[in-house]
Structure 1
Amino acid sequence: MHRPDPRSSDFLEALSARSQDIFRRLVERYIETGEPVGSRALSKMLDMQLSPASVRNVMADLEELGLIAAPHTSAGRAPTQEGLRFFVDAMLEVGAVDETERENISRNIEGGARAGKIEDLLNEASVLLSGLSHGAGLVIAAKADMILKHIEFVRLDPERAMAILVGQDGQVENRIIALPPGLTPSALQQASNYLAHHVAGKTLKQAREAIDAQNEKQARELDEITGRLVDSGLASMIEAEAGPPTLIVRGRANLIDSTMASGDLARVRQLFDEIESKKGLIELLNDAEAAQGVRIFIGSENKLFSLSGSSVVLSPYKDATDKVVGVLGVIGPTRLNYARIVPVVDYTAHVVSRLIGRK
Structure 2
Amino acid sequence: MNLLDDIDQRSREIFRRLVETYLTTGEPVGSRTLSNDMRISVSAATVRNVMADLTDMGLLHAPHISAGRLPTDLGLRLFVDGLMQVGDLTPEERRAIESEAEAGSAETLLEAAASKLSGLTNTASLIVTQKSDAPLRQIEFVKTGAGQALVVMVFEDGRVENRVIAAPDNLPSSALVAAGNYLNARLRGRTLSETRSTILEEIETNRAELDELTTRLVRDGVAHLSGDENWTMVVRGRGHLIDEAAQDVERVRMLLDDLEKKREVIELLTAARDGEGVKVFIGSENRLFSLSGSSVITAPYRDEQRKIVGVLGVIGPTRLNYARVVPIVDYTAEVLSRMLK
Displaced runs of 4 or more, over 4 A: 148-154, 160-172, 174-178, 198-206, 231-240
Q: In structure 2, what is the Cα distance between the partners aligned to 1:8 and 1:50?
A: 23
Q: In structure 2, what is the Cα distance between the partners aligned to 1:300 and 1:52?
A: 31
The TM-score normalised by the length of structure 1 is 0.71
1:254 aligns with 2:240: yes
Q: In structure 1, what is the Cα distance between the partners aligned to 2:94 and 2:289?
A: 29
Alignment-derived partner of residue 54 in structure 2? 62
Alignment-derived partner of residue 256 in structure 2? 269
Q: Give 1:236 shift.
A: 8.8
Q: CA separation of 1:161/1:285 partners in 2, compared to 1, >3 Å: closer, same or farther?
A: closer
Q: CA separation of 1:84/1:163 partners in 2, compared to 1, >3 Å: closer, same or farther?
A: closer
CA contact (8 A) 1:27 1:84 kept: yes
Q: CA separation of 1:31/1:171 partners in 2, compared to 1, >3 Å: closer, same or farther?
A: farther
Q: In structure 1, what is the Cα distance between the partners aligned to 2:44 and 2:309?
A: 52
Alignment-derived partner of residue 24 in structure 1? 16
| Count of residues in Structure 1 that have an aligned counterpart in Structure 2 | 322
Q: CA separation of 1:87/1:176 partners in 2, compared to 1, >3 Å: closer, same or farther?
A: closer
RMSD: 4.2
Q: In structure 2, what is the Cα distance between the partners aligned to 1:236 and 1:146?
A: 21
Q: In structure 2, what is the Cα distance between the partners aligned to 1:325 and 1:354?
A: 13
Alignment-derived partner of residue 28 in structure 2? 36
Alignment-derived partner of residue 102 in structure 2? 111
The TM-score normalised by the length of structure 2 is 0.75
CA contact (8 A) 1:137 1:249 kept: yes
Aligned pair partner of 1:285 in 270, 285, 291: 270
1:114-152, CA deviations, whole angstroms, 9 ceiling, x for partnerless residues?
13x3x3222222222111111111112245433356899
**1:191-340 correspondence to structure 2 within 5 Å:** 201-203=189-191, 241-244=225-228, 245-256=231-242, 257-273=244-260, 275-276=261-262, 278-279=263-264, 281-282=266-267, 284-289=269-274, 291-340=275-324
Percent sequence identity over aligned pairs: 46
Q: In structure 2, what is the Cα distance between the partners aligned to 1:111 and 1:23?
A: 44
Q: Partner letter of residue 256 of structure 2?
A: R
Q: In structure 1, what is the Cα distance between the partners aligned to 2:272 and 2:70?
A: 29
CA contact (8 A) 1:67 1:82 kept: yes
Rg bigger for which structure?
1
Q: CA separation of 1:170/1:350 partners in 2, compared to 1, >3 Å: closer, same or farther?
A: farther
Alignment-derived partner of residue 5 in structure 2? 10
**1:71-82 correspondence to structure 2 within 5 Å:** 71-72=63-64, 75-82=67-74
Deviates further, 64-73 or 78-87: 64-73
Alignment-derived partner of residue 225 in structure 1? none
1:342 aligns with 2:323: no
CA contact (8 A) 1:36 1:74 kept: no
CA contact (8 A) 1:24 1:87 kept: yes
Q: Partner letter of residue 270 of structure 2?
A: L
Q: CA separation of 1:240/1:314 partners in 2, compared to 1, >3 Å: closer, same or farther?
A: same
Q: In structure 2, what is the Cα distance between the partners aligned to 1:102 and 1:125?
A: 13
Alignment-derived partner of residue 120 in structure 2? 132
Q: In structure 2, what is the Cα distance between the partners aligned to 1:352 and 1:265?
A: 29
Q: Give 1:200 shift.
A: 7.4
Q: In structure 1, what is the Cα distance between the partners aligned to 2:132 and 2:125?
A: 21
Q: Give 1:24 shift.
A: 1.4
Q: In structure 2, what is the Cα distance between the partners aligned to 1:264 and 1:73?
A: 23
Give the match's secondary structure for 2:310.
Answer: strand
CA contact (8 A) 1:30 1:36 kept: yes
Q: Give 1:247 shift.
A: 1.6
1:237-269, CA deviations, whole angstroms, 9 ceiling, x for partnerless residues?
756633412222211222232324454234313
